[in-house]
Structure 1
């Protein structure tokens, strides 16, 4: 029994190390744009994580904007829209990584937005924000800014 528990623990550590590598790879694929965008990884408390408050904050940040932004809320939206966003240099590779991580149950949630181009001017609307929350307590934060 102790051997099984030890083997399970080692596999768990291996999976976390692999997740850290995938997060690092996703961060290298991030396109921050031409005007001060950024990418970084920070920690969050998984036990006190309140997804609803994150979504509420996101929606209030884009409400009333002259730019028409499409919210990206949840894992399904992330998987559906990540390939069409400019937030990743190599969207197809990022999409594959995200789909695999989601299938493994390692993505806790995602929240962000992107400009649809339907209203507003690219001079001040060309931006995308994306936060991806992982089950290991890390969040990948990407801001793409191509405003002029």
Structure 2
């Protein structure tokens, strides 16, 4: 069934639910999990030392998000690879999905209210449109 599952995470309320779905699927199918998080491209015009410091801060934040999720997979006996990339999230997800030849992408939907909730987020839409594998979109907790 699934041998490799890409789990896209961000700081949204849907991330926790997304990780739990992916973890359950990975355990059920004995799949490897690849946890992907992308942070925004840092403008080169910041110059040194600002550029290095900003990149370090982004990496630190990304690791503090991804590492606890990766530990949950390891604790459950699931082989996991964390991937932290710079750039637009949809591009990063698609790049890793193609490079690692994943069988499924699990990601959260954008948490929006009212009329906007009828639409998926732009990241979800782009991944669904361009992925070479199935994409499971998880809706997070309802926003007030």
Larger-gyration structure (1/2) = 1
**TM-score > 0.5 by shorter chain:** no
Task: Report the structure, 1 or 2, having the larger strand content.
Answer: 1
Normalization by structure 1: what TM-score? 0.27
TM-score normalised according to structure 2 size: 0.28
